[in-house]
Structure 1
Amino acid sequence: MEVAFLKESRTTKRSFVLVAVILAMFMGAIEATIVSTAMPAIVADLGGFSLYSWVFSSYLLMNAATVLIYGKLSDIYGRKPVLIIGIILFLIGSFLCGFAVTMEQLIVFRLLQGIGAGAVMPVAMTIVGDIYTPEERAKVQGYLSSVWGISAVMGPALGGLLVEYVGWRYIFWINLPLGLLTIAGLFFFLHENVEKKKPTIDYLGTFLFLVTISSLMYLLVEGGVQFSWLSTSTVLLATVVAIALSLFVWQEKRAAEPMMPFQLWKVRSILIANIVSFTTGVLLIGISSFLPTYVQGVMGENATIAGFTLTAMSIGWPLASAVSGRLLLSIGYRKTTMIGGVALIIGSGMFLLMTKESGPLWAAFSSFFTGVGMGLTSTAFIVSIQSSVEWEQRGAATAANMFMRNLGNTVGAALLGGVLNSQLQAYLLNQPAENVQSLSIDSINQLLGSEKSGFSPEVRNVLMEGLETSLHTVYFVVFLFAVLSFAFLLFLKKSD
């Protein structure tokens, strides 16, 4: 099967297709960092700090829900049409996000954006797995991760500059020219000879997954804020999650073409890669989503400085990815991922020790080590997984790994957003001064905007201390997930 595809790939202009894939990866990198940098400005403009995490969660929910479907569809209809359709949906969502006038509208448009984004990363990386030989993949995947990281360097910086001098709405519209160029490259230069198959899509599995994750997200974000953890609402939501999850597992085991191909998980390296992708996904969203808020709201820096602290992660990621391909060949899969796991612990530990006096440089170094850990582990996971399956399963296998990271992002955004909101609300309610007790979570809107000068010094200090205390709780959870990731990596065979 591999030989047959390589013969067909001669009609495909690999260099041009690679450029199109790089543009798609660039678009994904920009999306992953530029929105985080702009969120304080968006909250200051639209209000609704209590809905902060939903801007990420809504996007990530639909991304995670659709990534496996796109992987399966790409195995049936080919990579080209599936990726093009996904990009079109992503661009429509991006266009509408720029016109949002309320936080609720932005969340809805982010849902649409997430539906399209589910196709971008997994199918783009699967195309590379198709058109390059196994011997070439480690090197090319390293280059791809490097391009992703290098382009992500521009995300925080560009986001900060756009927010400062143009407006936050342009962070969404910047996707439009990138997406159109990607579509053109794929349309003209990627040629596939796909054997048509009767599509069998696991719609029931998809529905059950959506019910499970959306219910879990709502419970994690609003629990302890909108309703008590010991309330009837908590019990009902937990029951829905448990039943829907059980039905989802049952459906996946009986479906002819399951949404989640559990048989692939029987390979230990794939199993560990998918589990660790989930835990690092939680870690990654915790840092990328909330670091700009810490730098601006606690340290008092501007959006551009906050963006550069995230840029450091994007520098560490490509550097480590470039090295990862060589390490895989010299010291093996297990040792490469273990080094990455140690870097994740160092980075998250530095975030845990960070204070407002530490300054942006400390935040940047923390981001850098986290990026090194992500670069080493993610590149190794993709190369290992794609080398373990045949062409017919490569799209589903790659998408399954992306799905687990996206699921980690989704659960992480909800979990850590809930931690932030509940801790901040508890902190404000426990303040003795009456003028402080009247404050709410959404008072942070003003702290992140230009109206913070309207606060008295006492109130401003309480809000900053509350935000700092709450974010430190978030970073403690992030650190626990870094330790958990390393613990799972210990289960890899020494021969890997």
Structure 2
Amino acid sequence: MAGDAHGTTGQARHPQPSAARPTGRDARTEEHVPGNVLVSIGALLLGMLLAALDQTIVSTALPTIVSELGGMNHLSWVVTAYMLAATAVTPLWGKLGDQYGRKRLFQTAILIFLVGSALCGMAQNMAELIAFRAVQGLGGGGLMVLSMAIVGDLVPPRERGRYQGLFGAVFGATSVLGPLLGGLFTEHLSWRWVFYVNLPVGVVALAVIAAVLHIPRRTTRHVIDYLGTFLIASVATCLVLVASLGGTTWSWGSPQIIALAVLGAVLAVAFVAVERRAAEPVLPLKLFRIRTFTLSAVISFVVGFAMFGAMTYLPTFLQVVQGVTPTMSGVHMLPMVLGLLLASTASGQIVSRTGRWKVFPVAGTAVTTVGLLLLHQLDEHSPTWEMSVFFFVFGLGLGLVMQVLVLIVQNAVSYEDLGVATSGATFFRSIGASFGVAVFGTIFAGRLGGKLTDAFRGAQLPPGVSVDALEADPRGIAALPPGLRPPALQAYASSITDVFLYAAPVALLGFVLAWFLHEDRLRGSVTAPDVTETLASNPVERSSYDEVCRALSVLGTREGRREVYRKIIERAGYDLLPAAGWLLLRVRRYGVVEPAVLAERTSVPLHVIMAGARQVEERHLAVREGLDLLLTERGREIADDLARAREESLAELLGDWWGPDRPRDLIQLVTELNGELCGSERERPHDGRPATAGVG
């Protein structure tokens, strides 16, 4: 919330002499905000880029990886291992960062991620690749949560919305670039470069962070729920193992599958018992007493199930059945990503502006169901335009519901549970994604063998070509005689598209559940979440303070600055120019301002500042001492009223969170944001002038 009064968002930045530094919490922030903040943010963006890219870049390389390493029936685990590991450790990284400092932990997360990337590139079989992908995921979870948390250490609340927008842009870009880069590396270098490319980027990020990232060591003591984290990860792993191995590696009634299912149930009971007693549970059970949270969690599971399952198998359909190159399969995926981004952005903005949200989860799950049924219609003869339309419809459905689910969860819970409820909503999408990819893989592998056998029954296959070989390596189709290729392609096509048919009832369940959501009125502070909460599979965990801080600062940056001050003045009951109100608040904050120098320090035009200065002088609200403006007694009273009006406006946006027992950190946030709006510490009255007034 920059301090200009004429509707612009820009803000000049100038170094501040040590004599003019503010004190208290703002002083701690001020120490590390100057010039190198953008370089530090750039390094954090590189770290986020690594983790975000690895969720999408692998998909277009999977058919080639499977062809070289074998194990088509375990293809899904290349994606699932990364997601499960990243999901399980995300809360741990967040709380360890609070406790021991985030810089070293962020560097550790990068190192773990780079080691995992190097090992993935050197993998010699599918089992090794899956294990090394899990190592990558352990680091990836840390990159996600810590990069977002460090932004809160680097910049004051007023500016966080701007920087978190950059992280959102990185996610949007990786969702588009991932499939394209995966295809390019696979086609022109090797699938191994999908992983090796992380190494130079990660080394640059490590070097920059070591050199320029200086953040204060502010520790927050936590009782970390290690046991709860381990149990929830174990339950999820058991479920995914049952889904992926049942009916393929082992029969559904086999002792192994039954044992896994029983173990999962026992661990789930143990998890519930542990969470009831945990001081800081990784997933508070009381959240499930809130109907909106429970329904949103199930719908999030459905969205993750459909989205990542489809994103994993569509490149296989395009490359094997349609015969397109890995690069072009990434291009063919763009309509889906475009639909997702368009609908996600539009729905979030519409909800934030209108306060009405129920139509979006209902419409989104319905369109997703239709999209899955359309994808089921695809075959080896489908034209490009038809595939593009179907992909776009599917992406549109996902986008309509993804943004809104996080928003309505934030609206439904109390302030103390805001952070954990937000990460909980994306946690269930992550589990749904892991489960969906595994189930899709089981259906695909189970049907492919039978359909290939039926296709070649009675046919004479060339030497060295068998159903098992074709099932493990789709490149064998090229070795078939021309007359036998169409049935092989049809077997692959129908096996993949059947997956979407089986997923449609799951999406339909989400549609039915969406009707039971109760449309509570949105708090004014609940705004469209950033894209990191929409596209990421990782449940990025932020504190309740951080969540409200993000919401209020995003809200503030959306308003025109002139309009902000007009509303403050109107609420306080005065008839002043916006620039006059702005000047009064600045003089209140700093004790004195020089209008001409202020025009140099800010992006407010000189004529606007001079008009405001004339009005406050004419009304005897301020007097001149040389070139400086100082408040009169009457001017100070009005400035106090204006400051109080802005604080009341911010508090009003918090709704029932601003109750009689509101926590101290929430009071601190409102005071801090109120003070920052009234005048930025870095826009000094003039060089060397001490700050003689309190926080505005």
Which residue is equivalent to 2:495? 470
2:507 is matched with which residue: 472, 482, 486? Answer: 482
- Out of 190, 196, 211, the residue aligned to residue 173 of structure 1 is 196
CA, structure 1 residues 319+241, in 2 after alignment: closer, same or farther (shift >3 Å)?
same
Counterpart in the other structure of 1:454: 479
Aligned counterpart for 1:413 among listed residues 432, 437, 460: 437
Paired residues of 1:64 and 1:410 also in contact (CA < 8 A)? no
- Indicate conservation of the 8 Å contact 1:142/1:379, yes or no: no
Asked if the contact 1:147/1:318 (under 8 Å) is kept, the reply is: no
Matched, 1:72 2:95: yes
- Give the alignment of 1:409-448 within 5 angstroms: 409-430=433-454, 432-433=457-458, 439-440=466-467, 442-447=469-474
Q: What is aligned with 2:172?
A: 149
Contact 2:303–2:402 (Cα < 8 Å) also in 1: no
CA contact (8 A) 1:341 1:482 kept: yes
Q: Is 1:246 matched with 2:269?
A: yes
- Aligned-partner residue type, residue 225 of structure 2: D
**Aligned partners of 1:271 and 1:79: how far apart in 2?**
32
Residue number in structure 2 paired with 1:298: 321
- What secondary structure sits across from 2:58 in the alignment? helix
SS of 1:426's partner is helix
Q: Match of 2:480, as an amino acid? A: F
**How far does residue 304 in structure 1 lie from its aligned partner after superposition?**
1.6
State which drifts further: 308-317 or 27-36.
Answer: 308-317
Name which of 340, 346, 353 aligns with 2:377: 353
Q: Is the CA contact 2:73–2:472 (under 8 Å) kept in the aligned structure 1?
A: no
Relative to structure 1, is the Cα distance of residues 275 and 121 closer, same or farther in structure 2, using a 3 angstrom cutoff?
farther
Higher relative contact order (CA 8 A, sep 6+): 1
Q: Distance in 1 between matches of 2:394 and 2:332?
A: 12
* Equivalent pair of 1:97/1:106 in contact (CA under 8 Å): yes
Distance in 2 of aligned mates of 1:384 and 1:75: 27
- 1:462 partner amino acid: P
Match of 1:492 among 492, 502, 517: 517
**Structure-2 change in CA distance of 1:345 and 1:82 (3 Å):** farther
Query: Are residues 1:84 and 2:107 paired?
Result: yes
- Distance across 2 between alignment mates of 1:401 and 1:73: 21
Q: In the aligned structure 2, how far is the partner of 1:209 from the partner of 1:249?
A: 9
Check the 8 A contact 1:22/1:148 in 2, yes or no.
no
**For the aligned residues, what is the CA RMSD?**
3.3
Q: Give per-residue Cα distances to partners, 1:202-222, cap 9 Å, x unaligned.
A: 333233334323332222112
Q: Mark the CA change 1:118 to 1:147 in structure 2 (over 3 Å): closer, same or farther.
A: closer
Partner of 2:254: 231
CA gap of 1:466–1:316, structure 2 versus 1, over 3 A, is same
Q: CA deviation at 1:11?
A: 4.3
Q: Is the 8 A contact 1:146 1:322 kept in 2?
A: no
Q: Give the C-alpha shift of residue 409 in structure 1.
A: 1.5
- The more displaced of 147-156 and 309-318 is 309-318
* Structure richer in helix, relative to its length: 1
Matched, 1:315 2:342: no
SS of corresponding position for 2:219:
coil
Percent of residue pairs identical: 32
Residue 369 of structure 1 deviates from its aligned partner by 3.3
Retained in 2: the 8 A contact 1:278–1:408?
A: yes
How is 1:144-223 mapped onto 2 (pairs within 5 angstroms)?
144-183=167-206, 188-189=212-213, 191-192=215-216, 194-197=218-221, 199-223=222-246
How far is 1:377 from its partner?
Answer: 3.5
TM-score normalized with structure 2 length? 0.63
1:276 aligns to 2:299 (yes or no): yes
Matches of 1:419 and 1:275 in 2, distance apart?
22
Q: Is 1:363 aligned to 2:390, yes or no?
A: no
Structure 2 counterpart of 1:334, one-letter code: K
- In 2, the alpha carbon distance for the partners of 1:402 and 1:223 equals 27
Cα drift, residue 150 of structure 1: 2.2
Contact 1:50 1:441 (8 Å CA) reproduced: no
1:249-273 superposed Cα distances (whole Å, 9 cap, x missing partner): 2222222232323334445544444
Change (3 A) 1:317 1:78: farther
**Larger Rg: 1 or 2?**
2
Please name the residue that 2:538 is paired with: none
Superposed CA deviations along residues 289-317 of structure 1, whole A, max 9, x for unmatched, are: 10011111112222122111223333333
Number of aligned positions between the proteins? 489
After superposing the two structures, state which structure 1 stretch, 379-388 or 325-334, moved more.
379-388
Q: Distance in 2 between matches of 1:6 and 1:265?
A: 38
Residue type of the partner of 2:507? Answer: A
| 1:355–1:12 CA distance, 2 compared to 1 (3 A) | farther
The CA deviation at 1:239 is 1.5
1:385-431 deviation line (CA, Å, top 9, x unaligned): 56777998666444333322221111112111111111122334445
Using the alignment, how far apart are the partners of 1:24 and 1:371 within structure 2? 27
1:358 aligned counterpart, secondary structure: coil
Looking at structure 2, the residues matched to 127 and 428 of structure 1 have their Cα atoms a distance apart, in angstroms, of 52
| TM-score (structure 1 length as normaliser) | 0.86
Q: Which amino acid aligns with 2:425?
A: N
Q: 1:82 to 1:321 in 2, by over 3 A?
A: farther
Q: Partners of 1:291 and 1:484 in 2: how far apart?
A: 23
Cα distance, 1:156 vs structure 2: 1.3
- Segments of 5+ residues of structure 1 without an aligned counterpart are none
Which residue type is aligned with residue 402 of structure 1?
A: T
Stretches of structure 2 lacking an aligned partner (at least 5 in a row): 1-23, 522-696
TM-fit CA distance, 1:98: 1.0
Partner Cα separation in structure 2 for residue 352 and residue 413 of structure 1: 17
Offset of 1:179 from its aligned partner?
Answer: 3.0
Task: Indicate conservation of the 8 Å contact 1:344/1:369, yes or no.
Answer: yes
Q: CA deviation at 1:126?
A: 4.9
- Change over 3 Å in CA distance of 1:228–1:321 after alignment to 2: closer
Structure 1 residues 272, 31: CA separation in 2 closer, same or farther (over 3 Å shift)?
Answer: same
Shift of 1:74: 3.7
Q: What do residues 117-172 of structure 1 show as CA deviations (whole Å, max 9, x unaligned)?
A: 122334444556775759975x8766643431223212111211211111111111
Which residue number corresponds to residue 372 of structure 1?
A: 396
Cα gap change, 1:63/1:299 in structure 2, threshold over 3 Å: closer, same or farther?
Answer: same
Structure 1 letter corresponding to 2:442: G
Q: Does 1:99 align with 2:126?
A: no
Q: Give the one of 256, 263, 282 matched to 2:286.
A: 263
- For residues 96 and 8 of structure 1, do their structure 2 counterparts lie closer, same or farther at Cα, with a shift above 3 Å needed? same
